[in-house]
Chain A
């Protein structure tokens, strides 16, 4: 049936053979994308089924099936690595959204020197992660000559060895400091596209500031929030430099996240098999989280909006 229907509906100009449609022109680009993005990923999956250590001779790398994966999940330490990754990402998301949102609302009001304040607030986003870590570790958090120690001592308290006592909280603080400007910028853009008359109408109807925020601002922010949450989740899941420089994943594994763990397996140990398996787990986790986050934000903001 369909086989007969197609020639009838196809344009008469194309008689036979190769049809040069616009979609054909996309093939090279598509092929390029497949080669550059999917091939490495499939290779990673392939390697994850082998027991392979760079330091051992080529000849001896047996196929071990799912052993690398089973090993990953059997070790209770690795579960805490996954947990750390979630805590880090979640913590940074919450902090940057709250701080970024507040700053965005502040910057949405006209005041003297707003452009200058905005530039200053953005600057921490423009600093490279490794530089951030070096500055925080040595200038701010150092027990002996760090700024915070000086401040606490000046106020009469006793300093804290942040990186040892609160390693995860410190990393979350550092990463949040970097990403707050990003959240602020996107949320500010969202606010600026909110028509004034909507707010006015709400105020005329007697909405208090909370109701105004909950029913006008928040629903309007949906798209901006989605962008922030999605991009930040993807980026914060990959945090590496800050951890490598400041805590080296320690003490114990208190601040080891998945990327740092993978780099340990690959760079330090040369363990291709386990590193690849962890890489595949990280990809799956990232996708799951991204989908989950989007669903959550969609449901919450849209239900309340109408």
Chain B
């Protein structure tokens, strides 16, 4: 009996002292660093214990979605993509952070919300409330191989057009020697080929839906864009591009096999890293190409953010963690631990880009990345008005399905299994079905 009393006193005692928070995150390198820096957090907040659930993107997304949707409350801090934040906020699954910042003046002052890049903040704000804070953010840009450009006698402008890119690609292409003019994503998936291809469609003047949620995938703009993409990839791209996603293209590019590559800004750091790239001294950076339709929407926008699910019972402790892991102080801590400013989580804070040490370490691409993120506007990415937000995605719950399905049709056209017209007819039907089933069309 005595022992039982002692035990329960012990349990109650520890429960009162320490809060334990469980954090769900993706196994990307930047998040693994965050996990490794946990001791620094517990040094600052000794009364908070931290547990981690680190998973690959798809599994994490499924696990976290299931958890917040059912209100199970296993996670106190969740890593949520830019696509999910507005959807989940509307579903009432996330704690609004604005009131929490208002409540805790000390944290709010040290955190300085105004330092967060406005476009990034905008993407996480729904109805005037901030629902998540950005851990790192990325946009898209053009990478090119200066040596191959010099050999072909051409120069890359800071802001290329797709027509120019097509011309460059044709000049550089030399498949006999294993060199391709341009490498682009072809692997089907809403986060693979469609992330890239939607930016191309946007800047060719296309859009997924008009303001009445009528699908626009058989419009001339989509046709021109898809024909252009398929044609250029067939003439000057690597064979078998339908199995190339981000990783495969990164390998091809860093082995010096591609003249150009248009993809996520995060690759800039990887291509500049001598341990993984053979083209450290010849890699060049430019903005993502603009198309004939509009200058808008050629850059995409993506971020991984930390949010507090509604179901948590440790909102205060969670808030402390999330403001710590996305603070200016944390970014400096990563730079110190890694001994390299170029390795900090990019794309979230203006202060990172005005930091002299960062400019020195990532000077070759930092201003282009900042520009790409600043000019990516999730609310104005297309020539004509649209009823959705998002640049390389449509922020409706059904888009993961739709984007992947259309991605398969696009890959089918790229591999020559179907014609461009067939692919777009199928895609148009799928998009209209989603709009009808989801009761978006009035």
**A interacts with B:** yes
Interface residues of A (CB under 8 A from B): 53-58, 137, 143-145, 159-165, 246-254, 264-271
Which of the 9-residue segments B39-47, B152-160, B349-357, B401-409 touches chain A? Answer: B401-409
Query: Are B65 and A248 interface neighbours, CB within 8 A?
Result: no
A266 to B87, CA, bound (A): 18
Query: Shortest beta-carbon distance, B34 to chain A, in Å?
Result: 24
Contacts of B304 in A (CB 8 A): none
Contact residue among A54, A144, A254 (Cβ-Cβ distance under 8 Å from B257): A144
Query: Contacts A57-B92, A144-B252, A164-B415: A252 and B409 contacting too (C-beta < 8 A)?
Result: yes
Interface of chain B residues 163 through 200 with chain A (CB within 8 A): 178, 186-190, 192
Query: Contacts A248-B187, A249-B188: A53 and B398 contacting too (C-beta < 8 A)?
Result: yes
12 more A-B contacts (CB under 8 A) besides A55-B69, A251-B242, A253-B408?
Answer: A54-B66, A55-B84, A143-B240, A144-B257, A145-B255, A160-B239, A246-B243, A247-B242, A248-B187, A248-B189, A250-B412, A267-B61
- Sorted nearest first, the 3 A-B pairs with minimum C-beta distance are A161-B240, A252-B412, A55-B397
Query: Contacts A251-B242, A268-B404: A165 and B415 contacting too (C-beta < 8 A)?
Result: yes
Query: Are A53 and B397 interface neighbours, CB within 8 A?
Result: yes
Contacts of A160 in B (CB 8 A): 239
Query: Are A164 and B243 interface neighbours, CB within 8 A?
Result: yes
Query: What 1/0 flags go to B366-410 for Cβ under 8 Å of A?
Result: 000000000000000000000000000000011011001000110
Query: Are B404 and A264 interface neighbours, CB within 8 A?
Result: yes
Query: Are A163 and B240 interface neighbours, CB within 8 A?
Result: yes
Contacts of B66 in A (CB 8 A): 54
Query: Are B401 and A161 interface neighbours, CB within 8 A?
Result: no
Query: Are B240 and A164 interface neighbours, CB within 8 A?
Result: yes
Query: Are B69 and A58 interface neighbours, CB within 8 A?
Result: yes
Interface residues of B (CB under 8 A from A): 58-59, 61-62, 65-66, 69-71, 84, 87, 91-93, 178, 186-190, 192, 238-243, 245, 252, 255, 257, 397-398, 400-401, 404, 408-409, 411-412, 414-415, 417-418
Query: Are B243 and A144 interface neighbours, CB within 8 A?
Result: no
Contacts of B401 in A (CB 8 A): 265, 268-269, 271
Query: Are B190 and A56 interface neighbours, CB within 8 A?
Result: no
- Most chain B CB neighbours (cut-off 10 Å) among A251, A268, A271: A251
Query: Are A252 and B415 interface neighbours, CB within 8 A?
Result: yes
Query: Shortest beta-carbon distance, B431 to chain A, in Å?
Result: 15
Across the two chains, which residue of chain A brings its CB closest to B403?
A268
Determine the main DSSP class of A at the interface with B.
loop
Query: Shortest beta-carbon distance, B430 to chain A, in Å?
Result: 9
Query: Are A251 and B415 interface neighbours, CB within 8 A?
Result: yes
Query: Shortest beta-carbon distance, B78 to chain A, in Å?
Result: 14
Query: Contacts A267-B62, A270-B65: A55 and B87 contacting too (C-beta < 8 A)?
Result: yes
Contact residue among A56, A137, A247 (Cβ-Cβ distance under 8 Å from B397): A56
Query: Shortest beta-carbon distance, B50 to chain A, in Å?
Result: 27
Across the two chains, which residue of chain B brings its CB closest to A162?
B240
A187 to B241, CA, bound (A): 40
Contact residue among A56, A161, A269 (Cβ-Cβ distance under 8 Å from B91): A56
Contact residue among B91, B192, B408 (Cβ-Cβ distance under 8 Å from A251): B408
Contact residue among B91, B238, B411 (Cβ-Cβ distance under 8 Å from A143): B238
A19 to B3, CA, bound (A): 43
Query: Are A252 and B408 interface neighbours, CB within 8 A?
Result: yes
A243 to B398, CA, bound (A): 24
Contact residue among B245, B252, B400, B415 (Cβ-Cβ distance under 8 Å from A270): B400
Contacts of B257 in A (CB 8 A): 144
Query: Are B397 and A144 interface neighbours, CB within 8 A?
Result: no
- Most chain B CB neighbours (cut-off 10 Å) among A58, A144, A247, A265: A144
A269 to B65, CA, bound (A): 11
Query: Are B178 and A144 interface neighbours, CB within 8 A?
Result: yes
Across the two chains, which residue of chain A brings its CB closest to B252?
A144
Across the two chains, which residue of chain A brings its CB closest to B178?
A144
Contacts of A56 in B (CB 8 A): 91, 397
Contacts of A144 in B (CB 8 A): 178, 238, 252, 255, 257
Query: Shortest beta-carbon distance, A244 to chain B, in Å?
Result: 10
Across the two chains, which residue of chain A brings its CB closest to B437?
A51
Contacts of A162 in B (CB 8 A): 240
Contacts of A159 in B (CB 8 A): 239
A246 to B248, CA, bound (A): 11
Contacts of B418 in A (CB 8 A): 252
Query: Contacts A57-B92, A270-B65: A250 and B252 contacting too (C-beta < 8 A)?
Result: no
Query: Contacts A144-B257, A163-B242: A250 and B411 contacting too (C-beta < 8 A)?
Result: yes
Across the two chains, which residue of chain A brings its CB closest to B188?
A250
Query: Shortest beta-carbon distance, A20 to chain B, in Å?
Result: 37
Across the two chains, which residue of chain B brings its CB closest to A144?
B178
Across the two chains, which residue of chain A brings its CB closest to B88?
A55
Contacts of A248 in B (CB 8 A): 187-189, 192, 243, 245
Contacts of B186 in A (CB 8 A): 251
Query: Are B239 and A143 interface neighbours, CB within 8 A?
Result: yes
Contacts of B61 in A (CB 8 A): 267
8 contacts between A and B (CB under 8 A): A55-B400, A161-B243, A164-B240, A164-B241, A250-B242, A251-B412, A252-B417, A267-B58
Query: Contacts A54-B69, A55-B65, A252-B411: A163 and B59 contacting too (C-beta < 8 A)?
Result: no
A56 to B239, CA, bound (A): 40
Contacts of A55 in B (CB 8 A): 65, 69, 84, 87, 91, 397-398, 400
Query: Shortest beta-carbon distance, B382 to chain A, in Å?
Result: 23
Query: Shortest beta-carbon distance, B217 to chain A, in Å?
Result: 16
A162 to B243, CA, bound (A): 10
Contacts of B238 in A (CB 8 A): 143-144
Query: Are B240 and A268 interface neighbours, CB within 8 A?
Result: no
